[in-house]
Amino acid sequence: MKHPLRPRTRVRLPAEWERQAGVMLTWPHADSDWGDKLAAAHAEFLDLACHIAHYEPLLIVCHDASVRDQVAADLGARQVDNDRIAFVLCPSDDVWARDHGPITVYQEGAIPLLLDFTFNGWGGKYAHDLDDLVTRRLYATDTFGTTDCRRIEWILEGGSIDSDGQGSILSTTQCLLTDTRNAGMSLEQVEMQLQQRLGASRILWLHEGDLEGDDTDSHVDMLARFANPETIVYQQCDDPADPHFPKLQAMAKELAAFRTLQDRPYRLLPLPWPAAQYAEDGHRLPLSYANFLIVNGAVIVPQYMDQADEEALSVIRRAFPDRQVVGTPARTLIGQHGSVHCVTMQIPSAVQLPGLGKTVSAA
């Protein structure tokens, strides 16, 4: 963007590394797209949930009581304390909580507000009617206590934005300007929405960079992430023979041109490039180590059974020296074109989660 935005109200989108009340997961179920991979998806969700529960509480959305019973039993068998889990029975189309869960902002300093943006299945690509109702159903059953929630009739997915907590938002024009979301809106109009809704003072737009098999139209959480207000971690491609090489090299140049709020170049940490993996129908999968999740005291990083897995953990440790860095299996998740960050949504610390240790129905 050419000029700084000036938010009219004191709204702030917190950074993911700020203190959290918990993490939301929407559990896979038989009526979603997993087919014969459902058991493998359940296993990867269990691993992820156990990692998260070691650091903070869980809000688990279950399609029905049978899913809840299985999840509760399996987590209990892994010694996860039920008092650290809030179960909500709520129908869903799929598991991508990053995009159908609430985006939380702080008003006037520390007053949280849940924003329920419209979700249309990444531009109408997939079923989404149930997912678009998840946040309002959770709110209607007091899942978030007295925290207020506002419905926004504008399409925005959590995976398409990343915040430094100080007014800078990282995003991609490929996603936010696609006509299948908010048709006909100019870049300036999109920026005004991000200013008004999220308190953005500036948008760092990436025009380059995409991954084959990513059906979100280039969500930024698969490409580049803030690690702190001066550091960006990004997915590089260092293989000139790979079709991704030109676009990800161009994206790296864009990142190098960005400046911090102190007008300094960002510290840039490139993540290793994993070997290509393919779906059963032959299309390439969008493997990315940038799709990590930050929780209280730790960073949880996807692992793809690739030689680059350990190097990715090492880079993340450099980016987050004061946090533990934990790998979690994500090969089944990436088979559905998403990863660890895509299936989670952090709930900032000022939001209440009064249902811990209970099961509530929002069906």
Check whether 148 has a pLDDT greater than 70: yes
pLDDT in tens, 45-57: 999 999 999 999 9
Please state the three-class secondary structure of 255-273 as a single string.
HHHCECCCCCECEEEEECC
Q: State the pTM of this model.
A: 0.96
Helix axes 38-53, 65-77, angle to 10 degrees: 60
Tell me which residue of 179, 183, 180, 205 sits closest to 194, measured CA to CA.
Answer: 205
Strand 161-163 and strand 168-172: pairing? antiparallel
User: What is the C-alpha R_g of the chain?
Assistant: 19
Strand 168-172 and strand 202-206: pairing? parallel
User: How confident is the model over 154-163, as a mean pLDDT?
Assistant: 99
pLDDT at 8: 53
pLDDT in tens, 66-122: 999 999 999 999 999 999 999 999 999 999 999 999 999 999 878 999 999 999 999
**Alpha-carbon distance 75 to 51, whole Å?**
11
**Alpha-carbon distance 134 to 292, whole Å?**
23
**Which residues are catalytically annotated?**
342
Q: How many CA atoms lie within 13 A of 116 on its CB side?
A: 16
Check whether 1 has a pLDDT greater than 60: no
**Alpha-carbon distance 78 to 70, whole Å?**
13
Query: Under DSSP, is residue 54 helix (H, G, I), strand (E, B) or coil?
Result: coil
The overall average pLDDT reported for the chain is: 97
User: Which homologous superfamily is 11-361 in?
Assistant: L-arginine/glycine Amidinotransferase; Chain A (3.75.10.10)
Q: In the chain, pLDDT over 90 holds for what percent of residues?
A: 96
